[in-house]
Structure 1
């Protein structure tokens, strides 16, 4: 592939990498304090521009730091399929992002271009961003990188992450950029799923994390109300992004988000994250205490519902269909037992991160995954969809097809998850029934800063540590002290930190186990700052 290196050199001069900054590609792209990122955005724009030119289709960039604080930003790279950047390209993007000099950058870019053949049709990169104030300038840096390598740019402005993925998919099919297509798909799929059902006699209370999801849900409120779903939105843009609100906060702190402590008893509540690709649910007990229904519970609800639809479909429909649930190490042990033992479905465990769970879910005809943090979806194999489409009309078959359209087939979508759960709750499963599917083992998650996260390496889907020497033995010794104990430590995929997870028979024991494991990690892995 031919490049105008003089043009690249001239454009790159405006985006010089800070000397000490070494961006690292994590489980979902790059994230850092926003002022450090212009060079990373420019360089990623060049890489995804080359990829778009080589396939002759649209690829995408989402400028977001998801659930991180407002002062951070980042990006997620999107393939022409609408899925996340294939792992074989992560080394290329890291090399470009970390190049210390202009000459190193140009050499790495030229070497990559030499391996690629330009398609006959021009490549395009579709760029979206969340609500962060740094987003527009960083999107412009990315656009400059795309243009420098000769690809076309379409900046769609503010969008949710799943909307950007959906837009890339639909553009490559229909060659139009139409936000309304995303909304129409959600609404019509939800209409099919809820046809003939009675709406719940209470609103769905939604914490919007003061993020982009608030703006998109506000556009949907009137249409959803006509379909029997009343949304009451909180943290809808008046406060700081992700500050004491959002799915990540609710799931990890296991407490009400800002402004929602006084929701009615037994209210159905949900929380989405800053870029609207995660959702968790929660409610309030009679005594005022908080109850979390996390991604594990959403996966279980979806599994129960889909198994019911298959059982109600014409005889033979379910024959030969593989249905499975993919989890990570963060999945509560009680959820794994429920899905495998009571529902009789296959359960597989992968490394943390959508790129791992999504890939594994594609192995099933119907693959369900929701990480505990609420990121997930339901995938349908194209061959199964064709089989269902060829069948005579049947309510359950039509609803299965509606689930496949509602649930984003490229990435987790908080709005899709909201609508699916509401549809299931209308179908005869009450909020109390959902809570009672299984009882979570008490758990606790902690995060501690370390000087270098790479000192920890893991195996067995990140459930056991290989290095540093002795760390896993120390964790095992701590776990052995507690009834039903389980714990692990894994390096963060986005920052120099280690995440600790623990579960046990009581909350007191889970908290104590988490603190003990965190202390071991702090001592053996270069902990920074105060102990937890």
Structure 2
């Protein structure tokens, strides 16, 4: 193995911020890869992002796949930033590689060459590694950033980290976190979707339009296509605007608010959830149509309205627990129709919550949907893993962070 040449601006000693200042990191300062990856004040991130991108390049070579690097601090203040890695399926990084990430980041500048050489040797010897078999054709590091001012500098740190072992680097620009996850899977499974912004918009808009057209509006429906979105002054506004170009106005009309101010300040899903107040730019005395709130990287959504009779900005929330129940009700209706046809293949839905879920939602799921919720520790990773055990797994944290997971078995049954 040739000598490892680390750019000084991405070492602990020379850690250089986006403003050009050296913000040295003590050689013994320790960090831990958590559910959100690494997330701190932006000045700490350059050396961390560099090392994470190296690790992403190793994972990419091990699996001969695209691995994602998302640079964001989500709902945190604008002065923060963070980095997390995404596995080939678009899921979060595997638990074992979280341990590897922590080990690489916590190495001192002196110890880092040995740590990296040991990783490289171990994976060259592993029979499970494509590195050992010389089968590296598709390895790449796919990187996106949110709108933070420190993002472009950290993108360059990621580029340098991927270059340590000459792994292809794909800069997909300013994106929401879901777009990065989607792009990674698209690079690895080309038939899934085109790995571009436009490919993402096309897939999402096509699915929305098909669902809209297939769903019969019940008698007495009060559905209105108008929606006001609090964009948290983040990436949600520019990317959602592009998506909306593919959706007819009679199906969805959106008014954007909080587009160009300070990121997550007085607005965004986290603010609305914690403060239980209307975000900046919303009038508690006005009669608004449906209102929704993103967070800074647009991977959370909450709905809200002014609480009746309150003029102090108090908000009434339709949070993640309610969103999960709404989805579950609809899916159960469809499953009941499917089951009534006495199909050859059964499909099972699970609903996953944490101990912090609203107790009323848990009771409703048990008593009305006749489903026993699965309770897991706090953290999206735990929710996602449990949801993946079902044909249809529904999970949303109260803060609006969640999704619905469909199994390969479900996909094969539906496509028959």
- Whether the TM-score (by the shorter chain) exceeds 0.5 is yes
- 1:443 alignment partner in structure 2: none
TM-score by length of 1: 0.69
Deviation at 1:41?
0.6
For residues 84-99 of structure 1, the aligned pairs below 5 Å read 84-99=92-107
- Trace 1:49-198 onto structure 2 (pairs within 5 A): 49-102=57-110, 104-116=111-123, 117=129, 118=131, 119-122=134-137, 123-174=139-190, 177-195=195-213, 197=216
Counterpart residue number, 2:373:
347
Which SS does the other structure have where 2:34 is aligned?
Answer: coil
- The verdict on how the C-alpha distance between 1:192 and 1:317 changes in structure 2, with shifts beyond 3 A counting, is farther
Structure 1 residues not aligned, in runs of 5+ = 391-532
Match of 1:249 among 242, 262, 271: 271
Deviations 1:246-275 (A, max 9, x none): 111111111111111347436311101111
CA 1:42/1:263 → structure 2, altered by over 3 Å: closer, same or farther? farther
* TM-score, normalising length: structure 2: 0.88
Q: Give the aligned CA root-mean-square deviation in angstroms.
A: 1.9
Question: Quick one: distance in 1 between partners of 2:359 and 2:223?
Answer: 31
The reply to whether residue 212 of structure 1 matches residue 235 of structure 2 is yes
Query: Which residues of 2 match residues 453-472 of structure 1 at below 5 A?
Result: none
Give, in angstroms, the shift of residue 91 of structure 1: 1.3
SS at match of 1:62: strand
CA–CA separation in structure 2 for the residues paired with 1:252 and 1:318:
47
Task: Tell whether 2:311 aligns with 1:311.
Answer: no
Q: Is the 8 A contact 1:267 1:284 kept in 2?
A: no
Give the secondary structure class of the aligned counterpart of 1:174.
coil
Structure 2 distance, partners of 1:217, 1:356, is 28
Distance 1:264 1:231 in 2: 17
Quick one: structure 1 residues 342 and 53, their matched pair in 2 at CA, closer, same or farther if it must change by over 3 Å?
Answer: same
Matched residues, number: 383
Corresponding residue for 2:226?
Answer: 203
Question: Cα deviations across residues 309-342 of structure 1 (Å, max 9, x unaligned)?
Answer: 2223461259732111111122111111111221
Shift of 1:15: 1.1
> Which structure has greater helix proportion?
1
C-alpha deviations, 1:502-521, integer Å up to 9, x for none?
xxxxxxxxxxxxxxxxxxxx
1:26-65 to structure 2, matched below 5 A, reads 26-65=34-73
Measure, in 2, the Cα distance between the counterparts of 1:285 and 1:115.
59
In 2: Cα distance, 1:316 partner to 1:388 partner = 15
Q: Deviations over 1:56-81 (max 9, x none)?
A: 11111000001100000011101111
SS across alignment from 1:379: strand
Among candidates 304, 310, 322, match of residue 297 of structure 1: 322
Tell me, in whole angstroms, the C-alpha distance in 1 between the residues paired with 2:36 and 2:170.
Answer: 22
For 2:307 and 2:288, how far apart are their aligned partners in 1?
6
Does the 8 Å contact 1:37/1:74 carry over to 2? yes
Contact 2:25–2:44 under 8 Å retained in 1 = no
Change (3 A) 1:127 1:294: same
C-alpha distance in structure 2 between counterparts of 1:363 and 1:213, whole Å: 31
Q: Distance in 2 between matches of 1:74 and 1:140?
A: 14
